[in-house]
Every structure is written in structure tokens, then in C-alpha cells.
Structure 1
Amino acid sequence: MTTMDSSENNSTAELMSRYVSSEPGYGVPKDGWRICLAHEFKEKRKPFQAKDVSFSNLVDHIGLGVRYLKWWYNKTRVEKKAPFIDMFGALPLRQIYGAPLGGIGGGTITRGWRGEFCRWQLNPGMYHYKTVIADQFTVCLRQGGRTVYQQVLSVERPPTLQGWNWGYCGEYAFYHALYPRAWTVYHLPGQNVTLTCRQVSPIIPHDYQDSSLPVAVFVWDVENRNDYPLDVSIMLTLVNGSGHKDDKSGGHWNEPFHLEKEGESVSGVLLHHCTAVNPYTLCMAVREQSDREISHQTAFIPKGTCAALWNDLITDGRLDSPTGSSPPTQMGEKVAAALAAGCPVPAQGHNTLEFSLAWDMPIITFGSRERRHARRYTRFFGAKADAAPSLSLYALTHYQRWETSIEEWQRPILQDSSLPSWYKSALFNELYFVADGGTVWNELPPDSDVSGGVRSEDGGLPAQPAVIKEYGRFAYLEGQEYRMYNTYDVHFYASFALIMLWPKLALSLQYDIAGCVVSCDPTERLHLMSGTYSPVKTKNVVPHDIGDPDDEPWQRVNAYLIHDTADWKDLNLKFVLHVYRDYHLTQDKQYLQDMWPICQAVMESEMKFDTDGDGLIENSGYADQTYDGWIVTGPSAYCGGLWLASVCAMCKMARLVDNEPVFHRFKDILDRGSAAFDKLLWNGQYYNYDSSGRELSNSVMSDQCAGHWFLRASGLGYGEFQAFPKEKICSALKSVFDLNVMSFAGGQMGAVNGMRPEGVPDRSSVQSDEVWIGVVYGLAATMIHEGMLEEGLRTAEGCYRTVWERLGMAFQTPEAYCEKGIYRSLAYMRPLSIWAMQLALDSSPLRKPASPSSSQTSTS
């Protein structure tokens, strides 16, 4: 083996510069998130724990703590289930993740930025975080019939598989992500050879077929800058499994395969993972071409030195390629497979090798194992668990079309010189959560009824709405640690990504929520905060979520049992605002017609919160909205603003459906409520947090204009049904920018949730002194709608720089962080709200050039 030649030790910056190109499909794009493989993040944060709560807050939550501990013990020790929120098992920060592999709703596999396969979500909504060290790419270079270089493309030096050549020097490589694609560029020291691995997943806006496929493609471009030709082989090794304990459960087996169809052919290895629940097949494949040599090793044991496999490749750049299947594994035994592809690379030339990775788990059960669900992709590839070869061939013959579609979608934004590079990176890379949010996208079972057979007085919903029958059922988690599907108070923020890019999925989700609204579950259960019993689900109230993947989503809703969310003030209002915004953006009249009676029902249910009849709802004196740890009493800026905005939407929709009596009723409420909102909350500069008169009631809440934000996103800002005067909205946003943004952490970390007017964070709760990244992106969108473009971009930039560049939280953006020390809930739904910024930019008449400080995003 050739050792490193120090004369070729170019700086990482030079290497990065060399491989920045605008050539579609080959060069690395200018914009995105970039990091050297040798990088180490200096700041190491801890997850939020009970000890991080102030003494006064701890005293307030003693009852919750005792009840949670009892519930947690019963859930984990008696039921043997995972808690929907595990306060004793928060994920530690691992600064390793890269762009996830796979389409939407078929499970995901995450490949880290150093090349490791390290995060797995194959069973729906359930994660484990295990780096499978044997899952690697290896390169072999041969000149004149002899091997001159062979290297695992990993910086790791593991204690196992020591017969392999580990410890690639990360200084010679960098990773670049612009989701749904990623590039890793490896300079092979001493060889004058550069490998560029391009990772492609089928995440394609407005595509409801290929976007559902559980596949990814790795395109390896080999550049030979020598004056002599080389033969180059790339080998992929893969364990049958995902690092989970069931890898050793026995009965797993591998087999080689070859598939030809319509003049194209692929070869590879199938790894059949034969668990009792949710069995699946992993498939690695290579596209056959005239000058490619494909070989395989059907099975090897991934432990010990594993020198035999290494030596097999090093001998002649290919593997032995035995025929036949491997025997099923014994209990306690793991099995792996290898696939190699080789090609000639001329002097001063390049060549390309194409690998695919697919996983076929067509029928799934959730944790309760009560029902079987067919994943969306089975509509196109069948549900017989034999689709892996066809998926692989399809991916390898269609990925170029996917890339064309991705480039056409991204190009207008990437070429917009008025937008800073960090924003372009954030916009596309935060989209990872649409696929990697524990996402399920299933076919609607033939016997399904979205509202459980319940119909409202006005007729209600069809049992199987056309959009769900045609486009399937969609659900994603609140967060990888907060395991509840379609958490609605948070989806309010995240939903912009869906309605702008996959609007049929957004509408499908809305129909499911609407079906839950008219149904009920009178089962009494204990709510952990109050210690009281109340029904699981109340009729004509929007659910908090549609269930836990470790139970049976859609069948048993409201997995969240900390509060009784039937008393939450924001859920019903957010549903109404969703309905009108979705109609505004899609112009789907059938959708509006179907949702109108549901909107009337939830608004009627909400009326009881206006206890004094002044047209404005009151909060209850506890945490009764998405800020579920921040007490609010009486009329409040957040819920009061959402109320007025939803009343505006009801006025507009009443006119659209030609219902004048309802219009006049809500117009009267709007007039009275707006006056009360102004009288009780406006202090001359911004809207107070609440009207209780408590010591901290005049805190500046960063999210105080959330209702107005949705009106502007829906084209209803200052028109016929005005709820908020423009001059007061602009003054409030300026106060938030001056205090919550610029007076917090030197203006470099986004907007803190609560700020005192004297310029110090509100520390009255565990949430008031946090930054919520998704809220900040929504705030930035609101600023942009109001012509505060520079302020909006500055506000959002602080979050992106903090999360992606300083804290190493790429592809795991959390719900929250504090100025120092801690974060909370990694990999969270709400930051998808960055797409609301794009909607605001698209409709903004003011587009200023990017500031000189907004340079190319990098962490190196």
C-alpha cells in the first residue's frame, strides 16, 4: 500500500475550491452545508434534564414529576414499551449526522458526514442510533495488474475488522449537503486520484410516486490525474440488519441476484432480515454496463479481523462471487455481504460507478400489532416483499431524471443572488425532516372511515375522502424524541413545507384531523400535569396528535397525556387558519366545502373560552397551548392573536360559501374582539404576553404575531377583515427584533421566546428563556411579509449558524436551545417552518441584495 505523500497534502480549502462547480450532476454546488471530515466541533452541549429547572419551577412541577415517574415505570417496566417522551433518556448530542437516505414514508437510513451508516428508522416512527461499523465503502486502485492502494473510506479506527485498512485522513476530504443530495469528495493521498460520491434520494416536490420510494443512489465519479490508466473498484459492505439486537435473532440470509428489464440490468445482493415483526429486505445493487466488472461476496461474518474479504479484493480488485444463498444465521450470529464494481479510468480522465441501496418493508404494523398497513410505494411495486431488485433497477435507471427535477426546483432559489448562501442551505437541508421525521405514508385500507363512522349535523366528511384514496395517509412525528404523529400545534409551523411542496399530503393530513374532530373517545385517563382524569378525546375539538407509533396511530389519538388538550386554546384556531391558508394556496373548492362544517364546529367549541363575552378568548392560568411549560392567564398576545386571525378566516370563508348569517356573526365578534385585544394587551410598543397584571405579564413574546403571520401567508393581511393595525404589527416586530434578537446573545442566536422590556430574558419558565428554531423561522417570515427583509434574514441566520455551524446539529435540528449549556428535543418538526420564509419572499415586493457578511456556508 502506498502511504501518504506530504507533497500532495493540499489544504482542505483548496480541495473544496477545486470541486465547486456549477455543472449539473457532476460538480459540487456552491451553496449548501460543507464540512471537512477532520472537523471537530468545540462546543459539546447537554440535553435538557430536570436538574436544569430553576428551584421555583421545580417546586411548581413536583406533582408532575411524581406522576410521570409512576407512569414511566409502568410503561417501561410493566408494559415493556417506549415512553412517548422519555425524560430520563434524552438523546445525547452526537455531532455526526448527514443527509438521510430514502424517499418519504418508507423508512430512512442516515449516513453521517464522515460516511458512517448511523441512524435507522425502518420500523415506522421508531429510531435507534447505532453506527454499524462494517457498513462501509472501500476503494481499490490497480495499475498494470497490481493493486497499488486499498483503503476503507472512513476516518474511524475501530477495534474490530482490523484486517482492513482504516484511518483515512479526514483532512483530505469534505462533505457537502444540499438535501436531498449530498457529496463527499475524497482526495486519495499520493495517488493523484479524487473520488466524488454523490448521494441522491427521490425527494421531488409534487411527485407522489417516486418520492415514496425507499431507495437511494450513490454515484461515484473517479478522476484520474495521472499520466497512466488505472483500474478502480469500489466495494460496499453491508450487515444484514441495522445494528439492532434483532440482527442476532437468527434466521437471516443473503442471496445474489441479477435482474434484466427493458434493456437495462442490475446485479447485487439481497439481505433478507427475517424478524417476526416487520421483516424486510436490504438490497445493494450496481448498474451493469459494458466496461463495468461486478462481483460480490454473498456472506461473511463481520467480526474478528475479516482479513479474508479484504484480501479477496486486494488480490485482483474483485470478489469471488459465489453462487447460491447463504444459510440462515444461527441465534447470536450476524451476517454481512459485499458488492464490488470496477471500471477502467483513462489517464487524465474519469469514469463513473453507480450503486443503489433499497429496503423493502412493504407491510408494516405499529407497536400494538393490531393492524397491517401497506406503504405508499406498494401501489407501484407491489406488497409481496419481492420488490427490492425492481426498486434497485428503477432507481439506477431513473435517478438522473430525479436530479433534473431536483435541479429545476432548486435552481431559481440557488441562482437568486439577493438571497444569502446560508439561507439556501437552511431552506433545503431543513427539509430532511419530511422524510426522516419517523414519517409514514400508507395506502388507505379499504375498510377505513376517517371519522370512525361519525357524521356531523351538517353531513360531515366522506368516509374515504378522494384525496386520501388517491394520495394515501401521511403522518410525521413531532420529533424523533417526542414520539407523537401529526402533533397539530407544532404542525401549524411545519406545515408550510408540505402545503408548498406536496400539497396533496397536506390536505390528506387535514382530512384525517377533521375526521378526529367529529369523533370522541370517552375513556377516562390521568393527565400528568393536573393529576385529574378526563376523556382521551372530546368531540368537536382538534386532537393534539393522532397517536404513538408504538401503539396504533389513527385508532387511538392523543398520545400526549401531560395536559388535557381539550382545554388548549390554540388547537382549534390553528385548524381554521390551516383550512383557509390551504384553500388560498390550492384553490381546492371541494376541500373548502368539506372543511367548512368542521371549522364551524371547532369555533363553536372555542366560544366557551370567551368567558366575559367581549369577543376575545381568555387563557386559563396554566400552560394551555403549544408553550406547554409557560403559564398564561387571561387574554394573551399569542392565543388572542390566533383567535382574531381565525375569526378573520371564518369571515372570509363564510363569504366564499355564501353564508351571510355566519359572516355577520363572526364580523361582530371580530370588531369587538379586536377592540378588546387592543385595549387589554397593547402597551404602546408591542402586545404584552398576557393581561393578568402579573409581574411578568408585560414580557415581550417573540411569537406574539403568530396569528397575523398566518393571515399574511393566506393573503388576508390588511384587507376587508383587518384584525391588527399595520403600524402596531410593525412596532411589535421592531420591539421583538431589538429585544428578543439583538439584545440576546449579541444578536447571534435568533430570538429568545420571552424577553423582559429591560433587556434580559424572561426566566419564569423552562420555555420562556429558550430559542425555538421553528418559531424563529416563522417570526422571520412575518418580518419579511412586513417589509423587514434585512431584520428577518438576520433573525433566522442566528439560528442556522448556531445549530448547523456552531453546535454540530446538522440533520437533527432541535426544538430548542438556551443561550448556554443545553438543548432540548433533537430532530424536531417545527423548523420546517423555514418554508414560510420562502412563501413570504415569493410574495415580497422588496428584495434587497444579500449582505456581504452572508458568505458561503461552511464548517471547516
Structure 2
Amino acid sequence: MSLLVQKPEIPACAWQRSIGKDWEKPYTVRYASNLDDGPDHGMPLGGFGAGCIGRSPTGKFNLWHLDGGNHIFKNLPACQFSVYEQVAGEEAKAYAMATEAPEDGSLDRWQWYPKEKGEYSALYPRSWYEYKDVFKSELICEQFSPVWGGNYQESSYPLAVFDWTVHNPTDKPITLSIMLTWQNSVGWFTNAIKSPTVKLRDDGSPEYEYQPRWGDSTGNFNQWIQDGFRVGCLFNRVQPHEALREGEGQMCIASVSNPSVEVFYHNRWNPSGDGADVWDWFAGNGSLPDIQDETAAEPGEQIAGAICLRFTVRPGKTKKIPFLLAWDLPITEFAQGVTYYRRYTDFYGRNGKNVWSMIRTALKHSDTWRKKIEAWQAPILENPRLPDWLKMSLFNELYLLTQGGTLWTAATENDPVGQFGVCECMDYRWYESLDVRLYGSFGLLMHWPKLEQAVMLAFARAIPTEDPKERVIGYNLSLAPRKVKNATPHDLGAPNEHPWERSNYTAYQDCNLWKDLGSDFVLLVYRDFLLLPDADGEFLGECWPSIVAALDYLKGFDLDNDGIPENSGAPDQTFDDWRLQGISAYCGGLWIAALEAALVMGQYLLENPPQQTDLDAMEIQTAIARYETWLAQARSLYQDTLWNGEYYNLDSQSGSKVVMADQLCGQFYARLLNLPDVVEHHYAEKALAKVYDTCFLKFAHGELGAANGLLPDGSPQNPNDTHPLEVWTGINFGLAAFLIQMGMKEEALKMTETVVNQVYNNGLQFRTPEAITAVGTFRASHYLRAMAIWAVYGLLEGFSNLPIAPADDEVPTSDFY
């Protein structure tokens, strides 16, 4: 804590909104079964896979993703900052720093901060509350977690730093007190239903029961800690089991003391009452009654702790006051008895009693962490070629790596940085959907490449597995085996089973029949090999058997043996409500690009045999010859069958004249990976111009984004269509990257900015959806594919100019482990 501090510089490109400002007409959900928590979402706090807590532009702590893969959106009013101010000779003021009182009538003695008196700003992983026109002091609260590119240690930590900067612009001394209150919620974040029922929702996708132990505080107790200059309230629980279980551990709020501040506390007050037990003291003179009480909560009882720091700021001076929040909930449980330790336990142990060690680490290193975040972001923020809206959305769309039900397990010999996964979204809770991450993985690739490689190795291991047990397919209620041997899985499993071991959780379609997944896998492996700084032949060698299996399996759908697998007439690709028949532009192009990638990889492995992987050179040569034969057939067939003089037909058998926005995804990937073009340049150029005119400019007057598919005059083939008439955020960003690749930079930026504005101007921030519509609705929030915006950056600036800090996970940060 220092008297000689500067006010924080909030980047001009950060997303901003007046604190507590109401949304006039936020977008609402398209289907009643889809998640719609409303627009009060802010940047999440916490590391990858550690669980996260969201604090909104109204000041509420209202999002709780502390149980891996599960979503809780509820305001917990007792979790809050409050500020007391006394200017010499004037009446004191005190406010809890959220703009809405609790709906349940609790804490009615508290005074809540007025709306629109200041600005909330966010540029992940930092956000700021700048309070104005209420206090005489100039107050800014900067909050962040230690997340930055290339880092595989601190980016996993379950903690948040809140740095309060207080400036006195007056000619009188000002006495202030900042209070942090927190409710003991240890034990709440686990599913009370240990064998949840899985049902099909109205859209045909599977959903499992989830009932958190919200409010179950029996046995919780709070401890006041004084450790040198460190002070805090530790939230604990009488451990009901011999061995630690999911949801058990500790939480903590903390700060520091020195001769210039007074520290007060109350470590056991009632958050369900009127709040007078802390507020009357705090609003009276900025103090608390210094109560220490470690009595455990009785059944039905709720308890909370409070800490406040009172200090005086002289005229013209500035003071910084740090607060910390940390949690140590080391276990994630999936199916009953299937547990993993979280990644941060590699650095802090696994007994659930290490939260104070995290506090000590954070107090020592938080300034260094902030500088590393700033250094990581600087190449983009200081780049004059990039517009502010793009800088903002690039970093803010990385929020999902914290908030997306993220898993990051402790390291093992087979997985030296652990296993990693992000849910497709909170509606479709299964991990790393491969068709979605074809675009949506660019953010992970460009900043945490070792985690990207870990995901692709997980898919490589899953391809040869099988699960013949039949289940109901939501699309047509038929029965199909869950996972066919050598079929590329759609996803890596779900939080209620055993991710990585049981894949293909989604059951809306029979993903064993999809015609894009095998190609997606091959292209992503080659992309990661080509673009990752530390990928090598060992990674390629481990993936190669699954590459061969995936392509051979996919070729089995080439029923007429003409070189290209046919779509079946059922939705059998990422646009899984859209029927393609025969050879399709989308899947056929991906197939050709994948075969080219496999040829290059096979040749590399022949010339550079990996040391740790036993591959047969003759088998590789045989596979290469096979792919060359298929390619010779496929190339001319694709062009001759699908080109109509202006664009590529949707497919060869449906007779549809729809202009598909993503028809040349395979061509985009071929050029991205320096492979031979799928189609000649002038054909791609003409088709892309048609897509831009039809799907973007002619749809909603060019004010929404590119629809997935329209007739050449901009009208729908069927006004009741779903996917063709939606604007998919991630597909738009991928299409924009393709436009840049083809020399249409101005058009690409116009389309990207349009979609970004749709998200951030309509209450969809920090819950970016898959789809938006022309009538102000959305579907599938918290969606993985939107991180495709990093492909736009990659094509603008070159993938060799990544703002990745050197990997520093080998440097220990904790002095107390």
C-alpha cells in the first residue's frame, strides 16, 4: 500500500457502460428452453478450470461457475463492496456498491449506490468500476485475475484481485472506509442429485438435472486471520466426510494493514436479515465491531464475514487499497465417483486448506501479474492499424476460457499440462465440440497453444474407441449407437459423465453419421502442427493413426465411390438443422482440404520419423497413395458438380439455390495452411463476393451480420427455416477471416463490426450467443465458436505476430507451497 500511486489508466478500447444503467430492449432468447439470464453480465473472475465468479455492470456478484461445467446465475447480495466517506465538516455517506437492492427484502438497512453514477469498463481479464458524482473522492476499483497468454500456472489460479484507487481532489482531508462482505457458500457448489436424469429438451438436445446445494450452509464457520500485515476472513466448513469431496474446501476475503489504515471486522453476521449488524457500525463511522465468532452454522442458518479498512486521504493525494478473493475447491466430480483435481492444485496441494497460501501469493505478486497482463495485451492495444471495437472484442471474447464451464485438470505423465475443455455453451453442456472449435479454437491456439494441443490429443485418443450402447436420437427419435469405432466424435463428453473417456454426449443427431467431423479433426491437427510454436513430430505421430482411421471411416460414406462422401439428406454436419443431400459444398470442400493436409503430414512423418511413436513407414506410404487416388477423383468432381457460374450450390441433389455463407470453409482452411487450393482463386473470389452481397448486404439491410443461407435475391428459401436464417457469430468471424484472406479487408471489417455491435449493444456481452435473428432474439449463449474473432486478427496481422508471452509455467510463483 503506497501513498505515491497513480490512478489506473483504463484502456480507451475497453467496453463501457454506465454503472447500473437499464437496458431498454435487450435481445431475448429464441426458444423458451434456451438459457436467458438477462443482460446483467460482466467479466468473470477466476482462472481457467478453477471455477469463476461474475460481477456485473450493476455491481452484483451474480454468476457462479464454481462447479465444473454447471451454471448458476443468482445475485448473492451479501457478497459486496461498500464505501463510507466523511469529508471534514460535512455529513458522512455510505453505500453498498451495487445499484439494486435485494429482491428478497434482505439487507434493507443498507443504502444502495444510485444508478448511472459512473462507468463500468471491461477488457478481459481486467475490468474497472469508476464511481462519479456521489462521493467527493474519485474512486476506481480495478479487478482482475492473473490470466495472460503463454502462461500455464497463474492462469489456473482461483482468485481475484480488487485494487481500489482513491484520489482526494478537494482541499480538505477525507476519511474513507472500504468494506468487503462475503457470504460463506462453501459446500454449495456440487450437484445434490448424484444420479441425475437425462432428458431430451424441446430442441432434441440432451439435458441432465442439476440441483446445486445452494444455501446449504450447515457446518460452515468463519475465522478471522491476522498474519503479519495480512488480514482476512477465512470461510471454512466442518468437513462431513473423511475424504474431501466436490464443493468442499475454503474461501477467503483479505486485505493488508499498515500504520496508515485501521482494520475492522465482523466474522459472523446474518446475511439473511436486515444487515444492521454490520451496516449500523459501518454507516455510522466506517468501522465494524471486531467480532470473532467461529461457531458453525446450524441447519437453515446463513453466515457471512466482513472486513473494512478505514483511512484518511489528504488533499491532492492518492491511495491504493488492495482486496483479495480466493477459493480452494480442489475437486471436480463428474459421474458419481469420477473425480479430477483442478490444475491449480499442481501448485497449491490438494487438501482444500490452501486458500491462505493463495492470498499470500497474490498480495506479493499482484502488481507483477498486472504488468504481465499489460505486456501481453500491449502489442494489440498499441497497434494503430486495429480499430478500438476490434481490440475490445478480441480480448473480451476470451472470457469464455474462464466462464465456459471450463475444465483444466492436474497434470499427469500422459498430459503434462493437464486435460482441458470448454463447453460448447451453457445450453449444450458438452466439451470442445469439434465442428464448433474448427473456428472457435483460434483464441486458445493463439494464446495457450499447449492447451490447444492437449484438446486435439484427446480427440485423437477418442477416435478409435467405441460405445455400442444404443440411445434415442432427438432429431427423429430413432436408436443409434453412441460411438462407432473410428468415427470422429462430436465432443469430448459432458460434466455428468466422464469427459475424455466417454465422448459423443450430444444426441440431437447421430454424430457417427456426420460428414464434417473427420475432416475437421485432420485440418485442426495440421493447423496446430503448422502454427503452434512448440508442436513437433511427436504430436503429429501420436495423432497419425487417428487421422488414418478418421479419413477411412469418412470415405465409407462415399457410397458411389466417386471420391467424395455424400451427405445423407438428414442434418449431418455442423448446421445440424439443415438437410444437405449428395455432395455438398461445405463438407466436400473440407474433405478435399483434409486429404491435402493428410498428404503433407504423412510425407513429413516419412521424412522425420518421431522417436516416441512406433509408426510403420509402409502403412504411411499406403495411406498417402490412397489419399492421392481419392483427391484425383474428388477435385474435378467437386468443381464440375457444384459450380453454377456465380457460387457453389449447397449440394448436388436437393435442388436448392441457396447461397450458403460458409460454402468454402474448406478453401479457407486450405489457404490458411498453405495447401493447394480446393477451387481456383477466381472461382473462390466470385463465390465470396456473392456470399457477401446475398447473405450480408441483402439480409436485414446489412445491419445484423451474414445469415447462413439465402436465395440469391436475399429472400429465404423457407421463411420458417431455423439455421439458414440465423446469423451465427462464429461463422461470421470465420467468414470475415476468409474475406481478408481473399483481399476484401474493408468488407471483412464492416461485417465483423456489425456482429460485434449486435453482441455488445444488445445485452449479450459476456454471454455471446451462437445465433442472433432479425427479430431481436438469440440462441445458445456463452458459445464457443465466437472466439473465431481471433482468426480475423490472425489474417489481419499474420499468425506469426501473436501477442503471446513466453511460456513461464516452469517458474514457481508461490513461496508458501
1:454-603 matches, within 5 Å, as 465=414, 468=415, 470-586=416-532, 587-603=535-551
Q: Which one-letter code corresponds to 2:34 in the other structure? A: A
Which of the residues 631, 639, 663 maps onto 1:678? 639
Matched, 1:253 2:221: yes
Partner of 1:809 in structure 2?
764
Q: Distance in 1 between matches of 2:63 and 2:73?
A: 5
Distance 2:514 2:171 in 1: 71
Q: Residues 610-689 of structure 1 correspond to what in structure 2 (within 5 A)?
A: 610-658=558-606, 659-689=620-650
Q: CA shift at 1:144, angstroms?
A: 4.9
Q: 1:519, 1:290 → 2: CA distance? A: 64
8 Å contact from structure 1 (residues 478, 485) kept in 2: yes
Tell me the CA shift for residue 381 of structure 1: 0.5
Residue of structure 1 in register with 2:42 after alignment: 98
Structure 2 letter corresponding to 1:314: A
Contact 2:101-2:108 within 8 A present in 1 as well: no
Rounded to whole Å, the distance in 1 between the matches of 2:108 and 2:799 is: 59
Instruction: Name the count of aligned residue pairs.
Output: 751
Q: Give the aligned partner of residue 307 of structure 1.
A: 276
Q: Distance in 2 between matches of 1:93 and 1:705?
A: 35
- Contact 1:141–1:232 at 8 Å: present in 2 too? yes
Superposed CA offset, 1:84-111 (max 9, x none): xxxx642224111010000111001000
Letter paired with 1:636? S
**1:350 alignment counterpart:** 318
Q: Deviations for 1:681-736, whole angstroms, at most 9, x for unmatched residues? A: 11112111111142xx22111111211222233233xxxx3322111111111111
Among candidates 728, 740, 753, match of residue 784 of structure 1: 740
Give the CA deviation at 1:240: 1.3
Moved more, 272-281 or 674-683: 272-281
- Structure 2 distance, partners of 1:577, 1:845, is 19
For the 8 Å contact 1:240–1:247, the answer to whether it is kept is no
- Cα offsets for 1:471-517 (capped at 9, x unmatched): 00111101012111122211222111111111111111111111111
Partner SS for 1:332: coil
Distance in 1, matches of 2:125 and 2:43, equals: 7
Q: CA deviation at 1:840?
A: 0.9
1:133 aligns with 2:41: no
Whether 1:738 aligns to 2:693 is yes
Equivalence for 2:674: 715
**Equivalent AA in structure 2 for residue 45 of structure 1:** Y
CA distance in 2, matches of 1:248, 1:811: 28
Corresponding letter in the other structure for 1:133: P
- Residue 771 of structure 1 corresponds to 727
1:216 and 2:183 are equivalent in the alignment: no
After the TM superposition, which residues 138-157 of structure 1 pair with which residues of structure 2 at under 5 Å, given as runs?
138-144=82-88, 148-157=92-101
- Report whether the alignment pairs 1:818 with 2:782: no
**1:798 aligns to what SS in structure 2?**
helix
Aligned partners of 1:528, 1:394: CA distance in 2, in Å? 49
Say whether residues 1:604 and 2:586 are aligned partners.
no
Distance 1:844 1:503, change over 3 A: closer
C-alpha displacement at 1:531, in angstroms?
A: 2.8
Give, in angstroms, the shift of residue 387 of structure 1: 1.1
SS at match of 1:283: strand
Aligned to 1:851: none
Deviates more, 1:141-150 or 1:568-577: 141-150
1:239, 1:148 → 2: CA distance?
A: 26
Match of 1:114 among 47, 54, 58: 58
SS of 2:160's partner is strand
Deviations 1:277-313 (A, max 9, x none): 4213221111334423222110111133221311222
**Corresponding letter in the other structure for 1:271:** F
Aligned to 2:789: 834
Contact 2:168 2:318 in 1 (8 A): yes
Q: Which residue of structure 2 lines up, in the alignment, with residue 35 of structure 1?
A: 17
1:266-277 correspondence to structure 2 within 5 Å: 266-272=230-236, 277=246
In structure 2, distance between residues paired with 1:317 and 1:832: 44
Equivalent-residue separation in structure 1 for 2:383 and 2:350 (angstroms): 43
Aligned residue for 1:584, secondary structure, equals: helix
Structure 2 contact 770–781 (Cα < 8 Å) conserved? yes
The 2-side partners of 1:759 and 1:305 are apart by 58
Mapped pair 1:800 → 2:746: no
CA shift, 1:188, in A, is 4.3
2:742 partner letter: E
State the one-letter code of the partner of 1:175: Y
Alpha-carbon separation, structure 2, partners of 1:270 and 1:701: 56
- What is the one-letter code of the residue matched to 1:360? D
Report the alpha carbon displacement of residue 635 of structure 1 after superposing the two structures with TM: 0.7
User: Using the alignment, how far apart are the partners of 1:43 and 1:313 within structure 2?
Assistant: 37
Q: Distance in 1 between matches of 2:487 and 2:136?
A: 65
Contact 1:648 1:722 in 2 (8 A): no
Deviations 1:748-770 (A, max 9, x none): 21110111111113436311100
What are the Cα deviations for residues 786-816 of structure 1, in whole angstroms up to 9, with x where unaligned?
A: 11111111111111101111x2111000111
Task: Give secondary structure in 2 for the equivalent of 1:676.
Answer: helix
1:628 Cα offset (Å): 0.8
How far is 1:661 from its partner?
A: 4.3
CA positional deviation for 1:545: 1.4
1:292 aligns with 2:289: no
Say if 1:117 and 1:131, in contact at 8 Å, map to a contact too: yes
8 Å CA contact retained: 1:102, 1:109 = yes
- Secondary structure (helix, strand or coil) at the match of 1:338 reads strand
Q: Tell me if the contact between 1:670 and 1:723 (Cα under 8 Å) persists in the aligned partners.
A: no
Using the size of structure 1 for normalisation, the TM-score is 0.84
Contact 1:259–1:389 (Cα < 8 Å) also in 2 = no
Task: For 1:162-173, list aligned pairs within 5 A.
Answer: 162-173=107-118
2:737 counterpart SS class: helix
C-alpha distance in 2, partners of 1:508/1:382?
A: 23
1:176 aligns with 2:121: yes
Shift in Å, 1:146: 8.6
Q: How far apart are 1:821 and its partner, in Å?
A: 3.8
Helix, strand or coil for the counterpart of 1:423? helix
Deviation at 1:173, TM superposition (A): 0.7
- For 2:629 and 2:156, how far apart are their aligned partners in 1? 46
| Matched-pair contact (CA < 8 Å) for 2:109–2:276 | yes
Aligned residue for 1:217, secondary structure, equals strand
Counterpart CA distance in 1 for 2:276 and 2:163 is: 27
One-letter code aligned to 1:566: N
What amino acid does structure 1 have at the position aligned with 2:49? G
| d(CA) in 2 for partners of 1:745, 1:309 | 54
* CA gap 1:700/1:421 in 2 versus in 1, 3 angstroms: same
Q: 1:212 to 1:24 in 2, by over 3 A?
A: farther
1:203 to 112, 137, 147: 147
Q: 1:606 is matched by which residue type in structure 2?
A: L
Write out per-residue CA displacement over residues 99-153 of structure 1, whole angstroms, 9 at most, x where no aligned residue: 0000111001000111101111111111111011222111011345997221111
- Structure 1 residue 416 and structure 2 residue 383: aligned? yes
CA offset at residue 631 of structure 1? 0.7
Q: Is contact 1:762-1:769 (8 Å) kept?
A: no
AA paired with 2:566? E
Question: How big is the shift at 1:25?
Answer: 7.7
Structure 2 stretches lacking a partner, 5+ long: 190-211, 607-619, 802-817
Question: Quick check: 2:94–2:111 contact (8 Å CA) kept in 1?
Answer: no
Which residue is 2:615 aligned to?
none
CA positional deviation for 1:192: 2.5
Q: How does 1:235-254 map to 2 (within 5 A)?
A: 235-241=179-185, 245-254=213-222
SS state at 2:139 partner:
strand
Q: Conserved in 2, the CA contact under 8 Å of 1:648 and 1:723?
A: no
TM-score (norm: length of structure 2) = 0.89
